[in-house]
Chain A
Amino acid sequence: MSAIIVDNISKKFRIPHEKKSTVLQNIAGLIKRRFDYEEFWALKEVSFEVKKGEAFGIIGRNGSGKSTLLKILARVLYSYSGSVSLNGKVASLLQLGVGFQSELTARENVYIYSSILGLGRKQVKKVYDEIFDFAELKKFENMKLKNFSSGMKLRLAFSTAIYAVPDTLLIDEVLAVGD
């Protein structure tokens, strides 16, 4: 069974000549008739298939669309054409510690992050100790996250993410700084 099927996807970005982000600018643009933007194709007709149990890596130059592809797989971006199908639970580590709140304690953040990754409260309770053991942060579970070092945050996020036991784990370069 295949875990990921990517069929012929393309992604187009718009690069406006003038960034309009307010109502006023949009009205001004309407009057000046400046609505042109350039198109940029980040991905063109990409297809591949990943079987269950496979590790699949994508290597490429800067700006070749690796992150864009991952974001489409993670359903953060939508492809312009083509289709993506993912079987099973997907956890994505595109940025680490998404949804971490620095004012809350590590314990609370683990619950929040797990719920974002699709885990219920009971399920988290079961693996809670393992998460902290693996991250070697048991001592700090009641400390506010704002007092964590970036390495500690990273360990906490990574360990939470893998205990969500996803069928597919999407990882962008976030692990480059991990130890």
Chain B
Amino acid sequence: MAATDLKNRYQNTALGFFWSLLNPLLLAGVLYFVFRHLWGREENFAINILVGVMAWQFFSTGTSSSLRAIVGKSSLVTGVYIPRQILVLSNVLSTLVNSLLTFIVLLLIIFIVLRHLPVTVLLFPLIHLILFWFIYGAGLLLSALYVYFRDLNQIWEVLVRTLFFASPVMYPLTIIPDYIMPYYRLNPVTQFIIIYRDIMVAGNLPSLYSIVFVIGFAIAAYLVGSFVFSKLQRRFAEEM
């Protein structure tokens, strides 16, 4: 099913995957040119933006596309029995494949610019898996609620945009005042971006606190998501 999704997404676009790569690259480029005078002297500013944007992209497209996973495939819900979680899973999986490809290109870029890859990059699959699980949990929750609340997509769009500005995608962490920091770090996306930058650019091991925090968040999102989903899915076919 995930393969179908990918095929569908790139049907008739000869450039295919190229587009999904170009999108974050362009966004990162714009952010870099706009903000380089402000924070351009930060170490590896350009690459950090790129890492942030790619992690961000996985989160935002993953959640917004799985939001429509159920409603958009209404014939599969009303016409036949399949475990409906699969619809969400296939959606997130296809986003995962996409983001893995963009991250491979990202690694190439990092290698070219820094002339080496930090060893800690080896942690990448683990972190990406955690983020994937987090997105899947959020996707379950969102897609189930979207069946009942059809304006959720608008609400989510605003929330995602707020989160974008509340995460260190386009600015360095150092500009956040100390007294806000504890709250600021509660944002799971922030934690993910910090970890990605640590392991992919700086070559630091992420702090234990961050790791525990994101794993906890991913598990919580999955538990809440699948609980709500399994409760609500009983009446999906009636609400379509």
Q: Is the pair B80, A92 in contact by a Cβ cutoff of 8 Å?
A: yes
> For the complex, is B219 an interface residue (Cβ under 8 Å from A)?
no
Say whether B205 faces chain A, with CB atoms less than 8 Å apart: no
Interface stretch of the complex, out of B16-24, B148-156, B209-217: B148-156
A76 and B77 CA atoms in complex are apart in Å by 7
> Cβ of A71 < 8 Å from any Cβ of B?
yes
CA distance A78 to B151 in the complex (A): 26
Which of the segments B58-66, B108-116, B133-141, B230-238 contacts the partner chain?
A: B230-238
Q: Would you give the shortest CB distance from A85 to chain B, in whole angstroms?
A: 14
Contact of B79 among A13, A76, A103 (CB under 8 A): A76
Which single member of B1, B80, B151, B238 contacts A23 (CB below 8 Å)?
B151
Expressed in whole angstroms, the Cα–Cα distance for A78 and B84 within the complex equals: 14
Q: Which residues of B contact A175 (CB under 8 A)?
A: none
Tell me, yes or no, whether A159 is within 8 Å of chain B by CB: no
> Chain A contacts of B78 at CB under 8 A?
71, 76, 94-95
Choice from B80, B148, B155 contacting A98 with Cβ under 8 Å: B80
In the bound complex, residues from chain B placing their C-beta under 8 Å from that of A115 are: 1
What is the CB-to-nearest-CB distance from B218 to chain A, in angstroms, rounded to a whole number? Answer: 26
Complex Cα distance, B76 from A94, in Å, reads: 11
- CB of B237 within 8 A of CB of A95, answer no
Task: Indicate whether B174 reaches chain A with its CB closer than 8 angstroms.
Answer: no
Contact B75 A92 (CB under 8 A): no
**How many A residues touch B, CB cutoff 8 Å?**
26
Contact A104 B80 (CB under 8 A): no
Assess whether A78 is in contact with B235, with CB atoms less than 8 Å apart. Answer: yes
Q: Which of A24, A71, A92, A104 contacts B7 (CB 8 A)?
A: A104
Interface size on B, as a range, is: 20 to 34
Cβ-closest chain A residue relative to B12: A103
What does DSSP make chain B's interface, helix, strand, loop or mixed?
Answer: helix
CB contacts (< 8 Å) of A154 on chain B: these are none
Does A46 belong to the interface (CB within 8 Å)?
A: no
Question: Which residues from chain A contact B235 at a C-beta distance below 8 Å?
Answer: 78
A92 to B148, CA, bound (A): 26
- Identity of the chain A residue whose Cβ is nearest the Cβ of B235 in the assembled complex: A78
- Complex Cα–Cα for A49 and B12 (A): 50
Docked-complex contact A23 and B237, CB < 8 angstroms = no
Given A78-B234, A103-B11, A104-B4, answer yes or no on A21-B149 (Cβ-Cβ < 8 Å).
yes
Contact between A116 and B148, CB atoms less than 8 A apart? no
A171 to chain B, nearest CB (A): 13
B238→A116 contact, CB < 8 A = no
- The distance in angstroms between the C-alpha atoms of A74 and B82, with both chains bound, is 10
Contact A98 B79 (CB under 8 A): yes
The answer to whether A101 touches B4, judged by C-beta atoms less than 8 angstroms apart, is: yes
Q: Is the CB of A23 within 8 A of B8?
A: no
Contacts A23-B151, A71-B237; is A116 near B8 (CB within 8 Å)? no
**Complexed CA–CA distance, A98 and B237 (Å):** 14
Tell me if B81 counts as interface (CB < 8 A to partner A). Answer: yes
Q: Mark B1-38, 1 if CB is under 8 A from A, else 0.
A: 10010011001100000000000000000000000000
A sample of 17 inter-chain contacts (CB < 8 A) reads: A21-B150, A22-B151, A23-B152, A71-B237, A74-B80, A76-B78, A76-B79, A76-B81, A77-B238, A78-B235, A90-B81, A95-B79, A99-B73, A99-B80, A101-B4, A101-B8, A115-B1
Chain B: residues with CB nearer than 8 A to chain A?
1, 4, 7-8, 11-12, 73, 75-82, 148-152, 155, 234-235, 237-238
